[in-house]
Amino acid sequence: MQLTVKGKQLDVGDALRTHVAENLNSLVGKYFTKPMEANVVFSRDAHLFKADIQVHVGRGIVLQSMSEATEPYPAFDTACEKLHKRLRRYKDRLRGHHNGEAGAEELIPARYQVLEAERDDHPEEASPANGKAHPVVVADMQMHIDTLTVSEAVMRMELAEAPALMFRNRGNGGLNMVYRRADGNVGWVDPALEKAGA
Tens of pLDDT, residue by residue over 54-66, are: 998 877 788 999 9
Looking at the fold, whether 88 and 113 belong to one and the same domain comes out as no
| 69 and 134 fall within a common domain | no
pTM over 0.95: no
Yes or no: say if 154 and 177 are a contact pair by the CB < 8 Å rule.
no
pLDDT at 20: 96
* Domain endpoint, select from 98, 121, 141: 98
Specify the 3-state DSSP secondary structure of 13. coil
pLDDT digits (tens, 9 = 90+) for 36-81: 899 999 999 889 999 999 998 877 788 999 999 999 999 999 999 9
Total structural domains in the chain?
Answer: 2
Whether residue 124 is found in the same domain as residue 59: no
Whether residue 13 is found in the same domain as residue 76: yes
Quick one: CA torsion of 53, 59, 61, 63, rounded to 10 degrees?
-10
The verdict on residue 132 lying in a domain is yes
CATH number, domain containing residue 17: 3.30.160.100
